[in-house]
């Protein structure tokens, strides 16, 4: 199965959390400090990102 997502949609799903962000993908939650970390997380889940 091919999974795709737009980078913009992933960034829109971030929730501000103090100095960083909370990011949830496929039920797994990540605490990140830099919005660009979303790309690596999505790719580790097998997503192909569309910019």
Neighbours of 42 (CB within 10 A): 20
Cα separation, 37 vs 23, in Å, equals: 10
Cα separation, 8 vs 11, in Å, equals: 5
Residue 31's pLDDT is what? Answer: 97
Residue 45's pLDDT is what? Answer: 97
Q: Which residues pair with 50 in a beta bridge?
A: 6
Task: Answer yes or no: is pLDDT of 11 > 90.
Answer: yes
In eight-state DSSP terms, residue 12 is: H
What beta strand segments (E) does the chain contain?
A: 3-6, 15-17, 20-25, 28-32, 47-50
Mean pLDDT taken over the chain: 96
Task: Answer yes or no: is pLDDT of 1 > 90.
Answer: no
Task: Answer yes or no: is pLDDT of 25 > 90.
Answer: yes
């Amino acid at each position: 199965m091919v999974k795709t997502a737009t980078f913009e949609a992933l960034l829109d799903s971030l929730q501000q959390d103090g100095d960083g962000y909370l990011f949830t993908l496929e039920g797994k939650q990540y605490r990140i400090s830099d919005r660009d970390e979303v790309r690596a997380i999505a790719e580790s889940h097998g997503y192909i990102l569309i910019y």
